[in-house]
Amino acid sequence: MKFLVQIILLTLCWLPGVQGATQHVDSNKWQFSLSAGQGLLTTPLAGRADLKGNLLPTVSYYGERFYLENSYIGYSLLEQENWYIDLVGSLNEDGMFFELDGTNKFGWWDALGFHRTSFIGDQPGLEVQPSRGSFGTFPANDEPIASNSYQDIKRNLSYMGGISLNWLTDFFDIRLSALKDVSGVHHGQEHHLTIRKNYQFEQWSWQFRAGLTYKDHKLNNYYYNLRPEEVNQMQPQFKLSGTWHYFYGITLSYQLTPEWALLAYWQRNVLDDALLQSRLLARDYYYGRFVGVRYSF
């Protein structure tokens, strides 16, 4: 079961950039696609490996009101010509990094017919970087984490649900989302502002996007604060407040045939510097990229 969960989560890390806004969508029809190429997702967590992938399966469905993109679901409440309101749900990204740690070592590449040694080797940049937020938080002679390994720190996945307002203009599309943990993991909230612009010319399609994300103190402390049992029964020496993050990225595709398309995806996510108080984080950013070909069934 964990094997299947990790494959699905790795796919989600590149969505909706690999799939969204670059693929024709038919109503009331299931769509399946498989992308093959070179993908990379860096991790901001300390002492953990970046994630690499060669195959990305996706599934989507768009009905009259309900739609699905892997684990992202939505239901249309109200729709007008230039705006609409949806109920939405999606996995929280912070939990994905903890769940996906070790995927490269897990061996699902071999199960899919690939040899890990062909694309997993020395990975520069994985060493722990000095934390710009570590001033005065943990002194040099503080007690070590009980397990002596950041890789042993575990956090659960959470599912966020809420409402989104989408506004379509002549210049760009705007989405505002207010989400709350509906899985009972941390009871936190996050809010999103996303701006997208789609272009299409003959077989070419591309999308530019940027956005802001707010995450409250409950979410941040659950994922990035240390538990007393993780620091030899010492109480955590800091408390994280709500933080702001931002991202920007681009997706480009060229439709070769109705089934085949070339695609490229890149996105950079920048975390709030305040999170670097946490020893679980090595850096305040992560990015994903994918270049390959997609076949739609």
Supply the pLDDT for residue 144: 42
Higher pLDDT among residues 55 and 140, named by residue = 55
pLDDT at residue 30 is higher than 60: yes
> Does residue 139 fall inside a structural domain?
no
- Asked, for residue 63, whether it belongs to a domain, the answer is yes
Q: Kindly report whether the global pTM for this prediction surpasses the value 0.85.
A: no
pLDDT at 141: 35
**Which domain, by its residues, includes 69?**
2-120+147-296
pLDDT at 187: 97
Phi, psi of 109 (to 5 degrees): -60, -45
Report the pLDDT value the prediction gives residue 10, as an integer from 0 to 100.
54
Query: Could you report the per-residue pLDDT of 19-29, keeping only the tens digit for each?
Result: 444 444 556 78
Q: What is the DSSP string of 11-49?
A: HHTTTTTTTTTSS---TTEEEEEEEEEEEEE---BTT--
Kindly report the CATH number assigned to the domain that includes residue 278. Answer: 2.40.230
Q: Given the structure tokens 């989400």, which residue do they identify?
A: 179
Residues in a beta bridge with 292? 37, 263
Is 16 part of a structural domain of the chain? yes
In a domain, 233, yes or no: yes
The per-residue pLDDT for 98 is 85
End-to-end C-alpha distance for the chain, whole angstroms: 25
Number of domains observed in the structure of the chain: 1
pLDDT band at 149 (very low <50, low <70, confident <90, very high): low
Burial 89-103, CB ≥16 within 10 A → b, else e? bbbbbbbbbbbbbeb
Q: Residue 59: inside a domain, yes or no?
A: yes
Residue 29 lies in a domain: yes
Q: Tell me, what's the pLDDT at 22?
A: 40
Residue range 276-292: average pLDDT? Answer: 93
* Mean pLDDT (whole number) for 202-209: 95
**Residue 216 to residue 244: CA distance in whole angstroms:** 9
